[in-house]
Structure 1
């Protein structure tokens, strides 16, 4: 007997606000999708996989940033079969943009081979295909009418919202407190519909302390480090601690002296509307203190984009040897020249962590050893001058890309075998659930849930690996002698155009990430070490701070090629995570051991 698999169906659910979940909308859409799939012998997939909750379709965000866009891309790359059904409660869930824009989106989905099913105003079900929309003029006209109606309804609602906010701004100027989201040091208490009462909360003393420190001449960076050392929570919950910008935003915020600036959001950008309203909030500091904090210049910091020359060419590659925190770019003024240094961010920002000592939790600094400063311009110069691999031929780079591609292919093959086994075991459990006694079902369901979770995790890993393979292949195809690092260096040094220099340095940073695994900075030894090609080669440089005239250094070089068979593959290297830390892996330990032995041999 031939087993004919059912056609898959996917339910697309969209709600403009999360509040709609509390109503009947979500349940209604899910029940209809399940009933339709059952009546038409379709295999309904995860009903919440393509749900855009709190995503508006008026500006098309569900296509550009939402799950609808993800669905289309998965159909395009073949992950979702083009023969699938897409179930939508109503066409206005798909798009509320202008009729022609909505039609373009609708055509894009149908042209991929997807069958779209939508319910009408009175509950009737309409089935759309690329063939039907082209051959049935009535269906095309009714579709356009529906799209026009959805767009006009959204436009009407938008106008109502704009008028409501304009009314709130007008009331605010008459003294009515309408803002329900004041600064974090103020608590809003509702006293009537749309009206609030404000009072300073327990964060106000912290804000006052920050202003006093700034008025005393303490820089924003130093204030942030002191707050981190005290373990002080940020005003807006964050695990990243305090930064220069965190303090600067408080100091420059005129809400601290009671002002309120009404805003309006236009195309995702907040635009100030009218003059600030004085005496709106309870002031947390006096006008005098606020002014004294503003007048003191903080010349040790420059904000904005990374300059006109992409200052840190080593961005994403550097870490502290002692705590694995990322290295932080620091600018210090000396005479008329601005010197830049790399410092351990964990030590410089005085970050702390909790440890348990004999059952007692204690707060200790993340890094006490990473105190040295490494002059950035010399670090960049020495690395570019001495790392010979930056001039490698395309032949070597292609060999490296081939090795990476082979490793990914092997990982995909292993994971595919594992996934097939998991699917078989999951199917066997499903069969048992259908045939076993009721007493056995709870245990089987628990096992099935666990197996399903393993299978989904394996599928996610396979998706990631497949993406990595596509990226590696793209890089392999893009190999070009003109993109060599030393060629780009010559070009940016010769160019007088800031835009060209910036672009070349950005491309160089990307190319360096392909060659360099990591650069580790040792404050105790006063050295920094560049590790390349999966740990096969290392360059160790001294920390030179003060020079007069041109200078050249000869780094200590360790060639680990003969140890390649004993070392982990290139794909075992851990890149910097979100916290900016690089774990100490076996490769790094091996490199450090080799450098120590070589130094001892040289000394003897």
Structure 2
């Protein structure tokens, strides 16, 4: 098998390709070294491996090492890189370990800047090992020093509120330049007005109940796709809007002007009002609320009447989820236990059966129109902003303390006061705690922001929809809104298709428990009535997020229902 040779280059940013040991410089020096090797031996050159990314990560050569261990590179093959710092983004012990993994496969490592070639034999020799370890440590310190200098400058600019023009911009934003000097300078950003209009339409349609699929179809019919959408397509004439892009727009905080800077694992930074916003925060947070409550997999396209109960309905007998059954024969949609339909539960536990969706829709609409019930299910919940602010302060202090501990543990390790094993153990412990604290801090800050910019209008919106409902038939545009509203106040709907049905297993168990009871005969006669399937009654258990709960008995023949309407236990009957 012919030996291979390849060039590995890495820089932290694309701008470094023209500065010092940047990408072009590395390529040039590596190519010269490869030419020398090819003159002295028969190598097959593979495509260059080039990485451009954030500094000081530690997984730069994983692919090469795995390929070598898998035998894809024959013994005597050569990996050419500029210098030791390309290999030393982890601590020097880790660097030596990775280096040994590679060299043990019989592959050689060549540094083009110093014309030095490493082999497994060199690490086997004590003197060679010490020399290599010293170089690895020096390279690691140099690499870390470069990284820290870059990150410090980067973080300093962010802290001062300066424009950090690195990374890709949102494609509705363009840079603003100051051209008064010799070299144009980026001084800010501005919105492309036509694209702002499109993004606002996307959010408006989503909030009104449409899904990404429906919005994408509307865009392709009414809006010319943006030119950059064809950059990966072979056929440049066939630009289209894609659902994936619409979905990304809906969750991208850049639309409200926020930018997230990943300036190191322990120093992620969020900047509000960095970009000019294209939608209001009120609209943004409302869309996020809709997204959170909307059933997974909902696309917005539908063949049958839209199911407004996805994820809310459960079988009262076996506890399994209930699905919506649609028919192509003109019959109306029905709710049924999915576990029974798939033969996952026996008839002794669950009787199965399906109930028309319109019955549950009728109950929901009529029940919530009652003033007493309406006030109960929308029991107001006032957010304690003071408590949230206290929590933010506590989490920020926790983050600061953990960062300090990380610095101290690293100093102890570098001063050789603790072992490498202890250092790694404590470092991982602190970093894991730090990651959790940062996630919690971000969540609390967003909750504060959301409560600051969005007023809850669920009650008003729902009341409007109920008022629009007529003749027990809900138009699809209202259905879409109800689909997003229901999960905001309904936690669970439990359905007993055949009323208070008693399974054979439970019936026999209850008979056994009644042995010796003087009233056993009378009780058993009553229980026997419950063993038959009552098609005339469906029981719905409505559990609301406010803590309010009501059981409703629905008469399928008369299409009437009975339930407690308030906490006094008064029965309320809503007639046809």
Name the TM-score, length of structure 1 as normaliser: 0.42
Larger Rg: 2
